[in-house]
Structure 1
Amino acid sequence: MDKKLAADTLIDVQDLTISTKQRTLVSNFNLRMKPGDRVGLIGESGSGKSMTTSALMGLLPEGVSASGTIQFAGHPRNLVEATDKEMQRIRGKDMSMVFQEPLTALNPLMKVGPQVAEIMISHKTAASKSAAQARAVKLLESVKLPDPARAARSYPHQLSGGQRQRAMLAMALANNPGLLLCDEPTTALDVTVQRQVLDLILESVQERGTGLLFITHDLSVVANVCDRVLVMNNGQVVEEGDTSEVFSNPQHPYTRGLLAASDLNATDADGRLFTVSSAAAYIPPSAETQAAPEAVVEEIKPVQEHSQSPADSAVEPSALISVKDLTRIYPVGRSSLFGKRSEVHALKGVSFDVAAGQRFGVVGESGSGKSTLLRILAGLDQPTSGSVRVAGSEVAGARERDLVQLRQQLQIVFQDPMGSLDPRMRVRDIIAEPLLVPGQKADSAKHRKMVAEMLGSVGLPADAADRFPHQFSGGQRQRISIARALICEPRVLVADEPVSALDVSVRAQVLNLLSDLVDDYQLTLVFVSHDLGVVRYICDNVVVMNEGRIVESGTTEQIYENPQHAYTRTLVNSSMSLRSELALR
C-alpha cells in the first residue's frame, strides 16, 4: 500500500534492493531528502552508485529488478512499482539527471536549442513551441553559455565538453525539477571547466531550492558541493552523515581508506601515498595539527639542481631530452568549396630540456598541445619545424627505420589501458611484444622469464601471463601496460594521463608503483596530465602549456606555491584538493 510523504520530505527511499537473477547489486539502500538538500553518494567503480540512481529514475537495464520503497513528493505511488508510462511523466519534470558524458546523452542529429525545448514541449510546461524555444535560449544563457542564441543553433559536436555539460544542465533544469541527480558530471572535464560547472550546479540548485543527489568518486568535489554524504561499498551504504564530520572523523575503515587514498598531500613514513590497505596510519585533515610522523602533510619533493627555463637555448650535457623551437601545424579542410584552407597551430615554438633521472611534468588543459608534444617525442608524429633529440636520436626528419633506437629508449604508458592492449592477445604476449625485433630470432624461454620478472615487479601474480586483458580490473590493466613499457629497459618513460581513468584507491597504488619503478630502473619520467595534484606528487619539475606554448616552467614548488603566469594561477586556483575544500567549509 502506498503511503503519504511527510510535508517537508522530497524523497524517501527505504530498503531499496537491486538484483539480477544471479546476485544482489545493491542491498537495503535508504535515503531521505528535503527540498534543497545536497547529498553526495560516493564510492568506487562497482559500488552500486549508478545502479541506485538508475532505480530512482526508473531506468534499470533489462534483467535487473528492484524491490523496496521510493516515495517522491507529489506522487502517492511507490515508484518501484510504477509503470514506465508513469515514470515518463516524472522524468525530466519532477526529477532530472545530468549524465557523465553529455556527448552520448545528447542527440547528435538535433540542435541544442530544440533539444532543450523538447523537454518542455513533451511535459507541456511551455505555452507553445515558440515559447519553449525562446525559453531554451534563456536557459542556455542562465547556465552561462557564451552567445546562447548561437549555442541553441549548434549541434552537440560543435560545442566543447564544458559547453555540452552546461547544455545538459539547462535541459535538466528546464522544468524546475524538485530533485536533480548528477552522475559524475565533471569527471571528463578540465580543472578550470570542472570548477565552473560545479559552481554553476551549486548556484542553480540554490536559486531554485532543488534537491541535489551528486554521484561521484571524487571526495574533493563532494566536500565542495554537498552538505551530507553517503559512502557505498559493494552495494551497501557503510557510512553516512554530515560531510565535514564524515571526512574529518571517518568511522568505517573503507571510508578512511577512500579519504587516505584521495589525499595526495599526505604520505606515510616511507613517503608513499596512502592506499585503502595502508590507511590505518592516516590522520584525516581535521586532526592534522596532531599529526604523527606517519602522516606527512604537504610534502614537497626536493628541488633538483638541473632544472632550467625552457627559454634557455643552451643544452646541458646531462640533457636526455632536448626540444628546441618545436612547432607543429596541421592543415584543416576547407569549410566550403571555394573557401581557403585553414591551419591549426598545435605547437608554437616549444623549447625545454629534461635531464637524465628527472621527473618532468607537462600540465595543461584539453587543446594545450600536450598530446601533440607526446606523439612527437615518441616518434609517432613529425614536427613542422624545430629539433627534438631523445636519448641521442633526432626525431625531426627521421624515417621509421631510423627510429628503432628511439623505440628501445622511450616507451609510453597510455591513459586507457583497455584501448592500448590487444584484447585477443594473452598478457604474456602483450608484455613480450616490445622484445620482438624485426630480423632477430625470438628467444621464447628468455622472454617467458623476463615477463615473469616484470609481472612480479608491477605486483601481478605469475598466472596473469596466461590470461586476457578483459579478465583484469582497470588498475591491473594499467600495471600490465607499465610492465610492457619497461620490459625492454628504456631510459625514458612517458606516462600520458596514466591514472585519470582509475578509482582513487587504485590511483594511489599505480602512482606508488610508478614512483618505485622510476627509482628502481633509474628512469627519466615525462608525466603528462591535467591533474595538478598528481603532478605535484610525482614530479620535481613542471612546464605549463596553454594554446601550444609553454607559458611557465620551474620546479614543482615554484609553480604551485608562486605561479607567475595568469593561466598558471587560474589552473592552481581551480585545482581541487580534499584538504583545501574541507578548510573552506
Structure 2
Amino acid sequence: MKNENTLLSVEGLSVSTGRFPLVHDVNFAMARGERIGLIGESGSGKSVTSTALMSLLPDGLQATGTVKLAGHEANFVDASDAVMRKIRGRDMAMVFQEPLTALNPLMRAGAQVAEIMLQHQMVPSRRAAKAKAIEMLASVKLPDPAEAAMAYPHQLSGGQRQRVMLAMALANDPSLLLCDEPTTALDVTVQRQVLDLVLESVVQRGTGLLFITHDLAVVANMCTRVLVMNNGKVVEQGATEEIFTRPQHPYTRGLLAASDLEATDHDGRLFTVASAAAYVPWTVAETEAHAAAAEETPVEPAAPQQDAEIQPVIKITDLSRTYKRGRTSLFGKPTEVHALQKANFTVLPGERLGVVGESGSGKSTLLRILAGLDQPTSGSAVVAGNEVAGAPESQLVQLRQELQIVFQDPMGSLNPRMKVLDIVTEPLLVPGRTENAAKRRKMAEEMLEAVGLGAETLERYPHQFSGGQRQRISIARALICRPRVLVADEPVSALDVSVRAQVLNLLADLVDAYQLTLVFVSHDLAVVRYLCDKVVVMQSGIIVEAGDTESVYTNPQHPYTAKLVASSMNLHAEVLAKAGTA
C-alpha cells in the first residue's frame, strides 16, 4: 500500500463503542496532492473516520488499526495528545461543517488565524503573525482582509466565516487537508465560491485533500478518487469517473440513483437506494448527447393562462415589508431593511410554485406573511380567500386551516415532549372543529398511513425516529386538516439524498392525491426544477424573474438567475467535465 509518494496510509482502521462497531476495517492510501472524496449517508461512518484520522475521537470510542502521515513515525490511532498537538494544525488540518461553532466567538478573525501560526512557532513574532494572518485572509479572497481581520465571527457572513476557517487550516501549509461537509449550510453561489477556493488552494500547494460529503456532484467536481462508505465499511473505491459511470456495488448505484433528479422509474418517481436496481448510470457519451440536445431544443415559454374563470388560490399584489433596525449610536436614526419590495404573483389551484433565492432574499418574510405570521407594510396578500393584510388574529383562524407549513428542521418543529398522536392531531384542536378523541385518532392513523408510517408510531416520541421519518410526521400534521395550500420551507435540505428522494416522491404523490396547491421554498435549484411547474426568483426582497420553471432554468433572463443556475452543480455535468480533463 505504501510507496515514496504516499502521504496518508490507513490500514485496518476500526472504531467501536464497547462491543458495537461504528467503523470496520477501513483501508486506503492517499498520494501527495491527491484529492479523495469520502461519500455516504448519515450513519455510514464518514465523520467518525475523519475524527479517527485526526485522533479526535470523543470519550467512549475506541480505535484500532494504523494511521500514518508521511514524515511521522507515530501511529495516530494510539499516539499521545502531546504528539498529536504538534501535528494537528501544522501537517494536517480540518475545515468543519459549521464555522460559527468551530470559531472562537470571543476572538477576532485575524487573531484566530495568527494563533495557529504562533502555536506551532511558524512565525518569528506576533507582529509577523498578524501580518501573515492578513495575507492568508487575502489569499482566501476575503474583501478588505485587514478589516475582516478585526471582525468577530458573528460580524461575518457564513461564507466569510468559512473562508476564515480555510485560512486557518492553510496557514501553516499542511500536507493534508480534511474537509467535513464544509459547504452544506451555504447558499449555492457562496458554496461554489468556497469549493472553487478550496480546489484552487490545494492544487496550488500540492496539498492532499480528503473531502467528506453526501453531495455527489461536489465530489465529482472536487475529487479524483472516491471512497463509498455504508454501515461503517468502505464498500467501493476507485477513480471518480469510473465509480460514477460504472458502479459495482448496489449501494453506490443507489446513491447515484437518488442523487440524479433527472432520472425516474417507470412510474415517474425518483429513484431511492431501495429502488435503484433498475437505474442505469449515464455514460459520458450519453451526458454529452443530453447536453447537446438541450442546447439545440430551447424551451419555449409556457403560454399564459387563458381561463379567466379560474380564481387564484394565492394573489400577491404590490406586497412590501420594511423592518426598522435599532439605532447604531445614541443620536443615530434607525435604519430600514426592505425585506420585500412590491412583490406581485398569483398561484392557481393545483399549481406547484417554487421560490428560490439566497439568504436575505426575502423568502422567509414572504412565507411568514402568507401564513399570517407577519403583516405586510403595504400591499395585499389574499390566501385561500383570506386577506392577510390588516386582518386581526381572530380572523386568521380560517387561513390557518387552509394553509399549513412543513418546516426545514423537523426535530426543531416537533415538540419533543409530545407523542406522535398529539403532534399530528394538534391542528384539529381549534375552535369550530367537532371531532372527538376517537375521530381524531382515526384521522391520525389514516394520515400516517398516507405518509408511509404505521399506526404503531402514534405512541412514540420524535427522538425515536430518523430525520426522514420525522419529516413524514411533519407532513402528516400539516395535511390532517385537509388544507388547500401546503407551504414547504426547505423541507429536504437537511436530509440524505435517498431520504430526500423518498420525501420528494411523497410530496408529489400527496399534492396530486389531495389536490393541493404547493409553495416550495428551496436553495436547491435541482429540487425545485423537479418538483415545481412555476418558479419565482428573489433577490434582496425583489422578485427579479418569474415564469415556467423549465423556461426560467434553460433561458434565464435576469443576470442573478443566470448566476444561480451556473452555480448550481449538476452530477452529469461534473462527471462530463471530469472526463474532459482526465
Report whether the alignment pairs 1:497 with 2:497: no
How far has the Cα of 1:315 moved from its partner?
A: 8.8
Q: Deviations over 1:54-98 (max 9, x none)?
A: 011110000001000011111111111100111110000000000
CA distance in 2 between counterparts of 1:208 and 1:135 reads 17
Distance 1:290 1:114, change over 3 A: closer
8 Å Cα contact 1:5-1:72 kept in structure 2 = no
8 Å Cα contact 1:358-1:540 kept in structure 2 = yes
8 Å Cα contact 2:287-2:576 kept in structure 1 = no
Partner residue of 1:17 out of 9, 14, 17: 14
How far has the Cα of 1:584 moved from its partner?
A: 0.9
Letter in 1 for 2:489: D
CA distance in 1 between counterparts of 2:305 and 2:467 reads 34
Aligned twin of 1:183 = 180
Report whether the alignment pairs 1:435 with 2:428: yes
**Number of residue pairs matched by the alignment:** 572
Distance 1:434 1:563, change over 3 A: same
Aligned twin of 1:124 = 121
8 Å Cα contact 2:302-2:551 kept in structure 1 = no
Letter in 2 for 1:236: K
8 Å Cα contact 1:17-1:24 kept in structure 2 = yes
Counterpart secondary structure, 2:44 = coil
CA distance in 2 between counterparts of 1:301 and 1:20 reads 55
CA distance in 1 between counterparts of 2:389 and 2:286 reads 53
Report whether the alignment pairs 1:170 with 2:163: no
CA distance in 2 between counterparts of 1:316 and 1:330 reads 37
Q: Deviations over 1:521-540 (max 9, x none)?
A: 00000001111000000000
How far has the Cα of 1:318 moved from its partner?
A: 2.0
Aligned twin of 2:367 = 374
CA distance in 2 between counterparts of 1:561 and 1:63 reads 52
Aligned twin of 1:451 = 444
CA distance in 2 between counterparts of 1:208 and 1:386 reads 55
Partner residue of 2:55 out of 55, 58, 83: 58
CA distance in 2 between counterparts of 1:227 and 1:220 reads 13
How far has the Cα of 1:102 moved from its partner?
A: 0.2
Aligned twin of 1:262 = 259
Aligned twin of 2:232 = 235
Distance 1:456 1:524, change over 3 A: same
**Runs of at least 5 residues in structure 2 that lack an aligned partner in the other structure:** 289-293
8 Å Cα contact 2:301-2:551 kept in structure 1 = no
Letter in 2 for 1:418: M
8 Å Cα contact 1:5-1:71 kept in structure 2 = no
The share of aligned pairs that are identical, in percent, is 68
Report whether the alignment pairs 1:194 with 2:191: yes
CA distance in 2 between counterparts of 1:450 and 1:300 reads 47
Matches of residues 64-463 of structure 1 in structure 2 within 5 Å? 64-286=61-283, 289=286, 317-438=310-431, 442-463=435-456
Aligned twin of 1:311 = none
Distance 1:555 1:454, change over 3 A: same
8 Å Cα contact 2:173-2:205 kept in structure 1 = yes
CA distance in 2 between counterparts of 1:439 and 1:530 reads 38
How far has the Cα of 1:22 moved from its partner?
A: 3.6
Aligned twin of 1:579 = 572
Distance 1:303 1:442, change over 3 A: farther
Distance 1:207 1:288, change over 3 A: closer
Counterpart secondary structure, 1:11 = strand
**Runs of at least 5 residues in structure 1 that lack an aligned partner in the other structure:** 292-296, 309-313
Aligned twin of 2:291 = none
Letter in 2 for 1:375: R
State TM-score, norm by structure 2. Answer: 0.96
CA distance in 1 between counterparts of 2:54 and 2:243 reads 27
Counterpart secondary structure, 1:151 = helix
Report whether the alignment pairs 1:483 with 2:480: no
Letter in 2 for 1:463: E
State TM-score, norm by structure 1. Answer: 0.95
8 Å Cα contact 1:423-1:468 kept in structure 2 = yes
Report whether the alignment pairs 1:508 with 2:505: no
Aligned twin of 1:566 = 559
RMSD: 2.0
8 Å Cα contact 1:119-1:174 kept in structure 2 = yes
8 Å Cα contact 2:299-2:555 kept in structure 1 = no
Counterpart secondary structure, 2:133 = helix
CA distance in 2 between counterparts of 1:467 and 1:388 reads 39
